[in-house]
């Protein structure tokens, strides 16, 4: 295929999903609880995982530190964790991050912040995260109980109907927090 046509086609494919146009990184830091995600996530990165939590911090070099924790096999299962870092390669596309996780079979993965909820206590309250192929999708929230009360209906509708995560493996699947044994925050 002609190289130019290929570039145009790739451009069209990635144009389907847009990332946020502004991001206040400070308001994105802290703990995030996974309240929904796509089956692609459950079949791969988070196989047999429960209670997935991500914690983002600021490193001295300006990149974000990443700490992902999960319980393995059940909501009270053994804690597993992975660390890494993330950065924004192009400041004009602040929602398109690259993530590196220690020991993962890839150097960098795309991490696109697609939509953000309102800011409360200087933190975004929810985030829809995906990547250009739209296989992997996560909805992160600051407080799973409050998310269910205030935002879940609207966010599920946005993910399913507006963003069209409506395939068998890239749909919105609720990730419950009931029964999750809390993480010790010093970890
Ligand atoms: C973040 O990490 C990348 C990749 O290692 C590096 O190129 C960059 O200089 C770091 N710092 C910032 C602020 O992007
Ligand atoms: C980003 O958010 C922090 C915390 O809410 C705030 O202090 C800061 O002014 C914000 N930065 C910008 C550029 O809006």
Q: How many domains does the chain have?
A: 1
* 10 belongs to a structural domain: no
Ligand 2 pocket residue status of 59, Cβ below 6 Å? no
132 Cβ partners below 8 Å, 6+ apart? 13, 14, 17, 110, 112
Q: How far is 101 from 86, CA to CA, in rounded Å? A: 9
Say yes or no to pLDDT of 12 above 80: no
Q: How far is 32 from 24, CA to CA, in rounded Å? A: 16
Q: Give the SS3 label for residue 81.
A: strand
Give the residue-averaged pLDDT of 41-64: 95
Which residue shows structure tokens 């602040």? 94
* 29 belongs to a structural domain: yes
Say yes or no to pLDDT of 13 above 80: no
Say yes or no to pLDDT of 81 above 60: yes
pLDDT on residue 2: 58
CA of 122 to the centre of ligand 2 (A): 8
Ligand 2 pocket residue status of 29, Cβ below 6 Å? no
Q: How far is 51 from 109, CA to CA, in rounded Å? A: 22
* 11 belongs to a structural domain: no
Q: How far is 130 from 38, CA to CA, in rounded Å? A: 10
Say yes or no to pLDDT of 15 above 80: no
Say yes or no to pLDDT of 59 above 90: yes
Nearest-atom number in ligand 2 for the CA of 24 is 1
pLDDT on residue 11: 47
* 184 belongs to a structural domain: no
Say yes or no to pLDDT of 171 above 70: yes
Say yes or no to pLDDT of 9 above 70: no
Please name the residue whose Cα sits nearest to atom 4 of ligand 2: 122
pLDDT on residue 3: 58
pLDDT on residue 104: 84
Give the residue-averaged pLDDT of 42-59: 95
CA of 13 to the centre of ligand 1 (A): 27
Q: Domain span at residue 60?
A: 16-174
Q: CATH number for the domain including 90?
A: 2.40.128.20
* 125 belongs to a structural domain: yes
> Measured on CA atoms in the order 177, 180, 185, 187, is the torsion positive or negative?
negative
* 105 belongs to a structural domain: yes
* 25 belongs to a structural domain: yes
Please name the residue whose Cα sits nearest to atom 13 of ligand 2: 24
* 179 belongs to a structural domain: no
Poorest-pLDDT segment among 17-26, 125-134, 135-144, 175-184: 175-184
pLDDT on residue 93: 97
């Amino acid at each position: 295929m002609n190289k130019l046509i290929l570039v145009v086609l790739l451009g069209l494919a990635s144009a389907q999903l847009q990332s946020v146009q502004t991001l206040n990184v400070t308001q994105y830091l802290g703990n995030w609880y996974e309240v929904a995600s796509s089956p692609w996530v459950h079949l791969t990165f988070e196989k047999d995982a429960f209670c997935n939590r991500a914690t983002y911090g600021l490193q001295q070099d300006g990149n974000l530190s990443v700490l992902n924790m999960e319980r393995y096999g059940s909501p009270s299962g053994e804690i597993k964790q992975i660390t890494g870092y993330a950065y924004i390669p192009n400041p004009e596309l602040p929602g398109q991050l690259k993530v590196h996780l220690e020991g993962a079979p890839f150097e960098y993965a795309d991490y696109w912040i697609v939509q953000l909820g309102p800011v409360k206590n200087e933190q975004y309250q929810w985030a829809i995260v995906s990547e250009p192929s739209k296989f992997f999708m996560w909805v992160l929230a600051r407080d799973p109980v409050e998310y269910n009360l205030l935002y879940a209906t609207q966010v599920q509708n946005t993910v399913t109907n507006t963003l069209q995560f409506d395939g068998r493996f890239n749909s919105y699947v609720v990730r419950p927090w009931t029964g999750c044994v809390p993480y010790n925050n010093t970890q």
